[in-house]
Amino acid sequence: MLRVLMVTEHPRLDTITLLPSQLEERQITAGTIVRAMSPAGLYWAESIVLPQSLYVNRGDLLFIVCRFGEGHLHDNFYTDFDDPRVEECRVYAALMLPLGYDDGLVLPFPAASFVETRERFDLSNSGDVGELEALLRNELARASFSTGRSLVPPSPPCAGGPAYEFRQEPAPVELQRRIYDAIDVSDHLTMRGLSAYVRSQMLISRTTFIPEGLYTLFISLDATFSLVMRRLRAAGVNEPNAYDAQAFIEQAFGDEPSGIRYFENFMRTASRRSTRRAASVCSHTRRCRAARDTSCPRH
């Protein structure tokens, strides 16, 4: 995601503007970030207070605020793209993960507009939060939202975008706080899985990129497998395998033992769907129709 900032002169802030050529040289390594949410997502209706982070609903603007750089080097991660920051992904994961398999989804969709500062704002102080909100609104007001070939998600309602969509159920705030506390942003394996999961849901929510979202989801699934294997080894299991990992998950959720490998049913279903989609795409290509390619599954 392209970083386009920033804020004009302000007595309390030491901020910078990042140009595309400077993405790899991010100068603010610790401070506070406030980022707008795009109406492309699906959200909790109420504001939520998390340790060192906030999720705020103002009606015409949803945004998150969090501190970053808590002993974590942003450039020592699994991807060259550090946007959103891992501390932001921690917030998004805490908002998303408390929902069970049959309880639907929450889909945070971070917008490109944000404000970063070295100032460590007091997030329990409504004045400080209001100051950050005002700066973000100023950034949204002056930002130019690309059109044409650029695939830019909708801007917030305060910047002329559509209304947000909310879940009707109340947020499980206590569980969200427990999940937030359990996420270690310095654990690269954990953050790899969570960041890939957040990105996969962003892609899946945009119909054009559903296959790409599923591919990214497999990265997240692979990270969970590695985390379970790590846990099994720490518990004294010698040379754990995919069957042990699946049994661990089933025991953790109180399910009956299935005797299958780790998420084997999901893998089979996803593989069949990918094959069907590839066949469908192939059958509609001009080259395939002209050549009557007999290797195509649909011919």
pLDDT in tens, 107-160: 999 998 899 998 889 999 999 999 999 999 999 988 755 555 556 788 999 999
CB 51, CB 181: distance < 8 Å:
yes
Question: Does 285 fall in a domain?
Answer: no
The tokens describing 159, both together, are 């910047």
Question: Does 36 fall in a domain?
Answer: yes
Question: Does 137 fall in a domain?
Answer: yes
Q: Quick one: pLDDT band at residue 106, thresholds 50, 70, 90?
A: very high
Question: What DSSP character marks residue 69?
Answer: -
Q: Does residue 213 carry a pLDDT above 50? A: yes
The pLDDT value given to residue 60: 96
Question: Does 70 fall in a domain?
Answer: yes
pLDDT digits (tens, 9 = 90+) for 251-262: 998 899 899 999
Q: Quick one: pLDDT band at residue 196, thresholds 50, 70, 90?
A: very high
Question: Does 107 fall in a domain?
Answer: yes
Question: Does 94 fall in a domain?
Answer: yes
CB 6, CB 15: distance < 8 Å:
yes
The tokens describing 88, both together, are 């932001």
The pLDDT value given to residue 102: 75
CB 74, CB 86: distance < 8 Å:
yes
Q: Does residue 266 carry a pLDDT above 80? A: no
The whole domain housing 137 covers 20-170
Question: Does 240 fall in a domain?
Answer: no
Question: Does 129 fall in a domain?
Answer: yes
Considering its fold, how many domains does the chain have in total? 1
Q: Quick one: pLDDT band at residue 249, thresholds 50, 70, 90?
A: very high
